[in-house]
Amino acid sequence: MAVDKDTAELAAFEEFLEVHGARAERWPEAARERFRPLLERNARARELLAEARVLETLLDRAPLPSADRTEALANRIVAVAAAEKANQPSTGNVIDLAARRQARTMLMPRSRWQVASALAASLLVGIYLGASPPVTSAIETIAAAVGLEDEAEDSDLVLMYSAVADEEELI
């Protein structure tokens, strides 16, 4: 059990070192308290801390690049990118987004009216269908006018409007 706990704590300690570094004075107080027992009992934890200290020392001793060198590097990168662009032939696969956006905005008012009129038409059709009597009552009215009884089955009503129905089937 202690080995599993140490393994998990070692992984957490290694990740913590990558984020916060090896200087314990920079660590949050809770982290110092959490990892102190691990450092006392585990040799691998002490080894990880020593490696992190060596890396920090090396990074502290590394000279910082001068502003002139950084600016020169940036200028070289921009020059190479510009030269590559100049050397590449223009292809027909380039899409002019500004032209497409302008064309789309020119069509937009008409498109909005088309959408609005379609929505208004569907609203009117919905209101009309909602206000009109159901289709079944119209069929029943026609069936009563033709002389079918009130309790006619649905199949009788369907046959009445079928083009292939014979007169004998309707009687």
Which pLDDT does position 164 carry in this prediction? 54
Which pLDDT does position 145 carry in this prediction? 77
CA–CA gap between residue 62 and residue 56 (Å, rounded): 10
* Number of other CB atoms surrounding residue 48 within 10 Å: 20
Which pLDDT does position 2 carry in this prediction? 58
Q: What is the pLDDT along the chain (171 residues), one digit of tens a residue?
A: 456 778 899 999 999 999 999 998 999 999 999 999 999 999 999 999 999 999 999 988 988 888 999 999 999 999 998 888 777 766 667 677 777 777 666 656 567 788 888 899 999 988 888 787 666 676 777 777 777 665 555 555 555 555 555 555 555
Q: By three-state DSSP, how is residue 102 classified? A: helix
CA–CA gap between residue 146 and residue 138 (Å, rounded): 12
> 3-state DSSP: the chain helix, strand, coil percent, rounded to 5?
80, 0, 20
Find tokens 């570094």 and name the residue: 21
CA–CA gap between residue 44 and residue 50 (Å, rounded): 10
